[in-house]
């Protein structure tokens, strides 16, 4: 996912920062950091990592990135960023900072775009596991499943407010475009 996030944002901004809370992110953030650093090298982007632990950290980080010309933001999908969704989306808009998120709830709340697992599909697939457990299978015996369906959501109202033109190639790959 991280490579897709970088590739999408590189089309609209050359400097890209990853924002996460290492206390709540998957594998204390290393899950995203390793992929971010590797993808940034492959795409010739200098990786900027912003660890945030509070709402004030988010405000400081987004304001600093907003002062840099042509910068953008990747917001990792995890509990802390989801709880602070409205704040992050509002600050990104206020500082005219393009951002991509790992959950569709962000562009539905006014964020620019998202790319991540289809959460409805995840819930549907989890139901079969619940059924198997209720029928007596041991959870430890069930294989771990990775997401198989991903979706891209683009909010054109947000793009217009940021003064961005989303490339047709990116719009063509979107599963949902918010007008």
Same domain for 35 and 80, yes or no, is yes
Number of domains in the chain: 2
Average pLDDT over residues 27-40: 86
Q: How far apart are the first and last CA of the chain?
A: 24
Residues 134 and 72 in one domain: no
Compute the distance between CA of residue 18 and CA of residue 31 in angstroms, rounded to an integer: 12
Same structural domain, 29 and 68: yes
94 with 144, same domain: the answer is no
Portion of the chain with pLDDT greater than 90, in percent: 68
Domain with 31, as residue range(s), is 2-117+151-178
Clarify whether residues 105 and 141 are in a common domain.
no
Residue pLDDT, tens place only, 7-19 = 888 877 878 999 9
Per-residue pLDDT reduced to its tens digit, 142-169: 998 889 999 999 999 999 999 988 889 8
Average pLDDT rounded to a whole number, residues 67-71: 86
What is the rounded average pLDDT for all residues in the chain? 92
Regarding whether 50 and 97 lie in a shared domain, the answer is yes
Shared-domain flag, residues 157 and 142: no
pLDDT range class, residue 116, cuts 50, 70, 90: very high
- Do residues 142 and 69 share a domain? no
Q: How far apart are CA 38 and CA 35, in angstroms?
A: 5
118-124's contacts with Cβ under 8 Å and 24+ in sequence apart are: 118/147, 118/149, 118/150, 118/151, 121/147, 121/148, 121/149, 122/147
Q: CB-hemisphere CA count at 13 Å for 73?
A: 31
The phi, psi pair for 61, rounded to 5°, reads -65, -50
Sheet-wide strand order for 150-155: 47-51, 15-20, 71-75, 99-101, 113-117, 150-155, 176-178
């Amino acid at each position: 996912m991280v490579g897709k996030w970088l590739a999408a944002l590189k089309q609209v901004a050359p400097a890209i920062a990853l924002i996460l809370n290492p206390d709540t992110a998957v594998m204390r953030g290393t899950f995203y950091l390793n992929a971010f650093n590797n993808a940034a090298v492959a795409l010739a982007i200098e990786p900027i990592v912003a660890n945030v632990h509070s709402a004030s950290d988010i405000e400081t980080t987004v304001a600093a990135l907003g002062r840099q010309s042509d910068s953008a933001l990747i917001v990792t999908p995890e509990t802390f960023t989801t709880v602070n969704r409205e704040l992050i989306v509002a600050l990104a808009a206020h500082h005219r900072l393009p951002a991509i998120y790992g959950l569709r709830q962000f562009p539905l709340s006014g964020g620019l775009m998202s790319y991540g697992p289809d959460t409805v599909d995840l819930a549907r697939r989890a139901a079969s596991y619940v059924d198997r457990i209720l029928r007596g299978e041991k959870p430890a015996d069930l294989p771990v499943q990775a997401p198989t369906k991903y979706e891209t959501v683009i909010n054109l109202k947000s793009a217009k407010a940021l003064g961005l033109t989303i490339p047709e190639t990116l719009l063509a790959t979107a599963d949902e475009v918010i007008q």
